């Protein structure tokens, strides 16, 4: 998902801060004619002129690039979030079979990794620009404003879903029944949503940085807790199916999966989704970020386009492992509560699997994810309503989001919502791909609209509208699974934009403007080289105290996993199982508190060493 991009060590800019950077770039570019700010393509050639440009409008300099380990951690943290509880359980409710899940999720996530590596990363590394800055350069203000409206809608829906997920844990404290309809059935639940939601809104308005830094620590803990939750509940599942708590072979796992988790029958008792649907969703779940190119914001910091392969940390550990673990936890909870998985929400599942830590995982994961996306929604909206402050715009957008969050259908329909969101932005990715990759290969001029001083790109707007009509038209005619609609829509948009751009001047040559652009690029590189010398290198924390604190934090995670393994493999009968679970619950909570306390201490120490690099 678009969640948890928030590490900040040394000179690493938090990804949510990158979103603000991108939108400030859009706003400053939009009003360049009425302000004294210089555009990155200004004809002035002095170093002072470049220095006056907002840094986010410039390509990322070489001294700001990061190694592959940074991106492994970034994607691992981002793609294990509260949504995994919802998506994992949804696969169960949709009636996927065990083999389809194991094989389909592997293939689909592998295709997603290739999409980042082949499409997103090369464009990001070659331009060193965010999508917002690049899009404005090739399509002007009108297209950018339309795209911001799309972002407002997408991020509001994701934020609302996560507020509902967090509220599902809080409702357990007040014995509020699970909300299983598309509308709320409890006035007290609405009050909980309003309370949780307004906290999210206030934090997004005023205190986002602290939460952003904190949620960057959640990645390793979330991975461990998802795995532990599956380990803790699996013996109960085994006992209900096999009559014993221990597995003797992998075949036992398949048997348990087929009979009690991924049965091949949906919640209505009908044949469920098949292998192709599972592959399609796993591929399409992050269409926004790879085919839609949102992750140019992150991968522009990569030293090589091969760093797109680092997304495997998120796809294989986050999606593959977490979705399977969430399915196991949902089915296990249903067995213990003698219920059906469709009658459970993330709060039920997490609490039964992890005890008090379950409250933490649902509240924190949902809360931090909602904050990140509500912050993005507010920034996108503020770039449209630029005469109003970001705080007021975020407050207004947040209030609407909280109202939406009162309706549980938002999180219960996450699969189609994410798929349609990807379909909405896939044409934009196609337009950028055509401009950057296709045009040079067919003799067209890249940045032709910019060279013509055009602030309104009719081909881009028409191609986006045409792509949406094509994609949603295919969906209305039901000619293919909607999980795959993004692919023909993306291709259609590339073809349509190429044809339209030719009519408006893309096939013409602009030697003078290109020479100026190349000259400007060299001047920016020279300026950034001087800047690198003056800034110096970030200070690395190699102190023994920080190493000891880090060791304690990671040891806490290791001990939590050991306790879960004990429940899984050293529970010969249900009596021993219940005893092991009784030990796991309180100690997992203690180790959770220990991990966050010491990990945040290390983060604080590292930040203190590099205050001179703070924005």
Mean pLDDT of 311-318: 86
Given a contact cutoff of 8 angstroms between Cβ atoms, the answer to whether 15 and 2 are in contact is no
* CA atoms within 13 A of residue 273's CA, in its CB half-sphere: 22
3-state secondary structure of 302: strand
Nearest to 178 by CA among 194, 164, 157: 164
Higher-pLDDT residue of 371 and 330 is 330
Range of the domain at 606: 542-615
> Are residues 489 and 598 located together in one domain of the fold?
no
List, for residues 120-153, the tens digit of each pLDDT value.
999 999 998 888 788 888 888 888 888 888 888 8
Q: What is the distance between the alpha carbons of residues 243 and 93, in angstroms, rounded to a whole number? A: 24
Its sign, for the CA torsion 253, 254, 257, 259, is negative
Answer yes or no: is 1 within a domain.
no
Q: Based on the domain organization, do 506 and 550 belong to the same domain?
A: no
Closest CA to 370 of 106, 157, 53: 157
pLDDT single digits (tens) 343-360: 676 777 878 888 888 878
- The half-sphere exposure of 287 on its side-chain side, counting CA atoms within 13 A, is 32
Does residue 378 sit within a domain? yes
Q: Which of 515, 530, 559 is the last residue of a domain?
A: 515
Q: Are residues 511 and 546 in the same domain?
A: no
**Cβ count near 43 (within 10 Å):** 10
* The pLDDT of residue 289: 87
Question: Are 489 and 467 a contacting pair, CB within 8 Å?
Answer: yes
Residue 468 forms part of a structural domain? yes
> Which tokens in the block code for residue 12?
């690493």
Confidence (pTM): 0.80
Classify residue 5: in a domain, yes or no.
no
> What total number of domains does the chain contain?
2
pLDDT at site 55: 59
Q: Which helix (H) or strand (E) holds 225?
A: helix 218-242
| pLDDT tens-place string over residues 411-462 | 666 667 777 888 888 999 999 999 999 999 999 999 898 888 877 889 999 9
Same domain, 262 and 379: yes
Asked if 600 and 476 sit in the same domain, the reply is no
443 plus 569 within the same structural domain: no
User: Is residue 287 located within the same domain as residue 370?
Assistant: yes
Q: Is residue 414 part of a domain?
A: yes
What one-character DSSP code corresponds to residue 305?
G
Q: What is the CATH number of the domain that holds 156?
A: 1.10.4160.10
Share of the chain above pLDDT 90, in %: 28
């Amino acid at each position: 998902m678009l969640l948890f991009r928030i590490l900040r060590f040394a000179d690493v800019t938090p990804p949510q801060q990158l979103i603000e950077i991108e939108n400030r770039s859009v706003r400053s570019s939009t009003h360049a004619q009425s302000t004294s700010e210089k555009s990155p393509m200004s004809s002035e050639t002095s170093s002072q002129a470049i220095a006056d440009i907002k840094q986010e409008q410039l390509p990322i300099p070489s001294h700001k690039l990061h190694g592959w380990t940074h991106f492994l951690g970034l994607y691992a943290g981002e793609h294990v979030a509260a949504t995994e509880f919802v998506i994992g359980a949804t696969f169960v409710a949709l009636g996927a079979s065990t083999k389809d899940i194991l094989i389909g999720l592997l293939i689909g996530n592998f295709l997603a990794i290739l999409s980042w590596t082949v499409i997103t990363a090369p464009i990001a590394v070659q331009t060193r620009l965010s999508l917002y800055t690049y899009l404005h350069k090739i399509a002007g203000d009108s297209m950018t404003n339309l795209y911001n409206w799309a972002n407002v809608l997408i991020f509001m829906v994701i934020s609302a879903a996560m507020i509902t997920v967090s509220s599902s844990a809080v409702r357990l404290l007040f014995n509020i029944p699970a909300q299983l309809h598309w509308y709320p059935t409890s006035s007290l639940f609405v009050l909980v949503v309003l309370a949780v939601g307004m906290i999210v809104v206030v934090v997004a308005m005023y205190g986002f940085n602290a939460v952003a830094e904190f949620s960057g620590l959640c990645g390793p803990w979330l991975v461990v807790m998802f795995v532990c939750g599956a380990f803790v509940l699996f013996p109960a599942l085994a006992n209900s199916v096999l009559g014993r708590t221990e597995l003797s072979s992998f075949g036992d796992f398949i048997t348990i999966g087929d009979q009690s988790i991924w049965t091949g029958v949906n919640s209505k008792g009908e044949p469920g989704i098949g292998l192709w649907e599972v592959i399609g969703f796993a591929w399409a779940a992050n269409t926004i970020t790879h085919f839609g190119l949102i992750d140019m914001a992150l991968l522009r910091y990569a030293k090589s386009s091969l760093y797109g392969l680092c997304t495997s940390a998120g796809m294989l550990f986050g999606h593959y492992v977490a979705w399977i673990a969430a399915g196991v936890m949902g089915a296990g909870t249903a067995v213990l509560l003698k219920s059906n998985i469709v009658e459970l929400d993330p709060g039920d599942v997490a609490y039964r699997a992890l005890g008090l830590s379950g409250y933490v995982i649902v509240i924190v994961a949902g809360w931090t994810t909602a904050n990140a996306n509500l912050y993005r929604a507010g920034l996108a909206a503020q770039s449209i309503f630029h005469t109003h402050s970001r705080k007021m715009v975020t407050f207004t957008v947040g209030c609407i989001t909280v109202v939406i969050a009162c309706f549980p259908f938002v999180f219960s329909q996450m699969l189609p919502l994410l798929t349609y969101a990807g379909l909405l932005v896939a044409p934009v990715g196609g337009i950028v791909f055509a401009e950057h990759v296709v045009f040079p290969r067919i003799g067209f001029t890249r940045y032709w609209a910019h060279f013509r001083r055009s602030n309104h790109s009719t081909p881009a707007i028409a191609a986006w509208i045409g792509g949406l009509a094509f994609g949603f038209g295919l969906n209305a005619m039901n000619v293919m699974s909607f999980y795959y609609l993004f692919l023909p829509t993306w291709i259609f948009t590339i073809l349509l934009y190429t044809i339209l751009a030719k009519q408006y001047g893309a096939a013409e040559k602009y030697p003078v403007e290109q020479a100026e652009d190349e000259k400007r690029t060299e001047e920016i590189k020279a300026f950034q080289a001087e800047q690198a010398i003056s800034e110096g290198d970030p200070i690395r924390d190699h102190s023994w105290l920080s190493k000891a604190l880090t060791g304690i934090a990671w040891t806490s995670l290791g001990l939590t996993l050991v306790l879960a393994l004990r429940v899984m493999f050293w529970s010969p009968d249900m009596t021993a199982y219940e005893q092991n679970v009784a030990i796991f619950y309180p100690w997992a909570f203690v180790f959770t508190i220990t991990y966050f306390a010491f990990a945040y201490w290390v983060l604080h120490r590292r930040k203190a060493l590099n205050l001179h690099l703070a924005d």
